[in-house]
Structure 1
Amino acid sequence: MRAVKNLLVLYTGGTIGMLQTAEGLAPAGGFEARMREHFAVCGDAPKLQWSLRELNPLIDSANMQQANWLAMREAIVEAVERDGHDGVLVLHGTDTLAYSAAALSFLLLGLPVPVLLTGSMLPAGAPGSDAWANLVGALNLFESGLENGVQLFFHGQLLHGCRASKLRSEAFDAFKALPRQRDGERAAELPARLDYRQPRQPVSLAVLPVFPGLAAGLVRGLLDSGIQGLLLECYGSGTGPSDDQALLDVLHDARQAGVMIAATSQCPEGAVVFDTYAAGSRLRDTGLVSGGGMTREAALGKMFALLGAGLDADSAEHWFALDLCGERA
């Protein structure tokens, strides 16, 4: 825990900096000037030194893609390694804020500075907006001291980057840490391949919920599309239609062909424990790796970081099953 002296504010777009257009709210540049103007007249200016960089292009976070995650990682690494910043605040839209927090948690493993993400439900300047409260609250945390690693701050709550989910579409307290089971073994050390300095590549991934009537043909079509990883959201403790041999065969064949397939629970307070039911054991035996109590956001971000580092399915599964930054422990 240490106070940050030289902060980078990385503005990616999102509601916090949007302005009204003929088509509705849209990301707008010039947010550094708006921040400095606000602090000049409101008297709550942070004492720490900060500068702002706009990530080009600014986006509505509903348009978030893997390329944007990679651009954020690159900008953050440059800020620390080249420009000497000792903390980074990422301003981000709320629709995919939890996804980006999770992805960056794994893309920045070992980074020796704190990274904090925040945003707002209403634009800065809108009547009754939460933007300035979230922004000033985040800056105050940097002044008082933060642990290294990625965290999310919203509506007065400081949340682990891999444990947050957006649960409300309109309320200011939109984000919560779901009470999911944490029982993963902590990795003794991180391989150099997963260090924050190592660039990543885009990965073809898919997320598929298990549902009554899920057909083997649908899953086969998805797997045959060339995806490298599949996140299967199972029932309860990791169960699914285990009496559908055709479906089990599709999953088994895809894993044998080198596709990584991981399982999470659909339940907000759930965790995958395959051996609880025979239905879970049969799914596990096709080659699925358990996501334990990880959220969808954490499991997807972790899969992206592992496969994007060039690991094959076997190596990726090994590290997926271990706790790397507090996502499973």
Structure 2
Amino acid sequence: MLITFIISSALLTLITLAPLLPSNHWTVRVWEFPRLQIVFLILINILLMALLIAQDLGPFLALVIVNLCLLCYQINWIFPYTPFANTTVKMSKSSDLSSRIKVINVNVLMSNRDAHKLIALVEQHQPHLLVTLESNQWWQDALEPLHDAYPYRVNYPLDNLYGMHLFSRIPLSDITTAERVEQGVPSIHCIANLHNGKQIQCHFLHPAPPSPTENEESTERDIELLGLAREIANKQGSDSLPVLVSGDLNDVAWSPTTQAFLRISGLQDPRIGRGAYNTFHAQYAFARWPLDHIFHSEHFELVSLSRLSEIGSDHFPLLTEIHLK
């Protein structure tokens, strides 16, 4: 039994400390994702040791201490994304609807054919902006029923899992699409013009993840995210526009890259102090983490934030409504 707990504790130590290695390889960076699951495994390990060896804890005391240290380390990363932490974005008390913007961001899963589920959610919640990721020409055609309500659109259909579409109820200007870091991995940048005349600079991203089937390293994803962060930071000033960033970033909220993105850009995450809002994987409740994000500048307060019902994709849609102060 002692050998069993030594092995389990050693494995938990390995996957906890692996992200500290100076490597961008997916076998290292992937362990930044399941911190919630690792916390659960550590707790099980501690409970089993406490239950099975309660009569003779002495020889196992060192293992218990090691596991408690691992638990504290993992909780330190995910704690801001629990309701126990302090919020960084205040709830809006304003009733001014003309200064609100509502966004649905969703990775539709290119092979998914349940477009009617997404259309029903859009008709129910009526966001100002709908951002679809992994959307190809089939999805572009399937979402045509939304065209009357969303006359302003940006289409970038691709069959490589990185197509993007933007549907808007409000006018868009200064629209640019770019494959900034990787060929075939685009992003959309534009200004959204609210009905009260105010403008918001918007960036929509879907960088490739570090994985054995995509990029072996996280380098390209990190370059795209941190490059945009520096671009946003360089434009900050008294006359700068409010900023909104959204998309499937293929990075979890608590990773060092996402934390660096927020620190460099000066943007805020409305999930802090409210929850993780795990949007992936929709079919496996035991393997979920927050891959879909919305960040914004300090110009906004939060009206609502919610994870919507499944649409046949491996991602849940994320619905956010914010108020421009």
Query: For the superposition of Structure 1 and Structure 2, which TM-score range results when normalised by the shorter chain?
Result: under 0.3
Higher RCO, 1 or 2 (CA under 8 Å, sep at least 6)? 2
Task: State the TM-score, normalized to the length of structure 1.
Answer: 0.26
